[in-house]
């Protein structure tokens, strides 16, 4: 997961290394950012990836998975944990 505060807040996510500032640029009727190649590689981003932004009290997180999917998976895990016996019966 890429957290904008990792870059803007002193590059904590890059082991304390200094990184280049990231500029916001206009492209047609949209705004875009360009990540330096080493930063994209560090966070595991590849050409064509879809990123899902999430606002946090600390900034913006860009994730390579849909945060809604994570919430559903966590809810399912919680349900299965609470209903362990029923899950065992269903598995038989």
Tokens of 51: 């990123």
Tokens of 32: 């875009």
Percent of the chain with pLDDT over 70: 75
Is pLDDT of 7 > 80?
no
Instruction: Give the integer Cα–Cα distance in Å for 1 and 84.
Output: 31
Is pLDDT of 1 > 60?
no
Q: pLDDT by residue (tens digit) across 74-89?
A: 888 888 889 889 888 8
Instruction: Give the integer Cα–Cα distance in Å for 88 and 14.
Output: 43
Domain boundaries 2-91, CATH class: mainly beta
Instruction: Determine the pLDDT at residue 10.
Output: 39
Domain regions of the chain by residue span: 2-91
């Amino acid at each position: 997961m890429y957290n904008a505060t990792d870059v803007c807040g002193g590059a904590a996510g890059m082991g304390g290394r200094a990184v280049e500032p990231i500029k916001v640029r206009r492209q047609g009727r949209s705004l875009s950012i360009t990540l330096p190649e080493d930063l994209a590689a560090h966070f595991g981003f590849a050409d064509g990836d879809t990123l899902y932004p999430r606002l946090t009290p600390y900034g913006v997180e860009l994730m390579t998975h849909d945060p809604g999917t994570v919430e559903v998976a966590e809810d399912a895990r919680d349900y299965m944990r609470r209903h362990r016996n029923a899950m065992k019966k269903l598995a038989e």
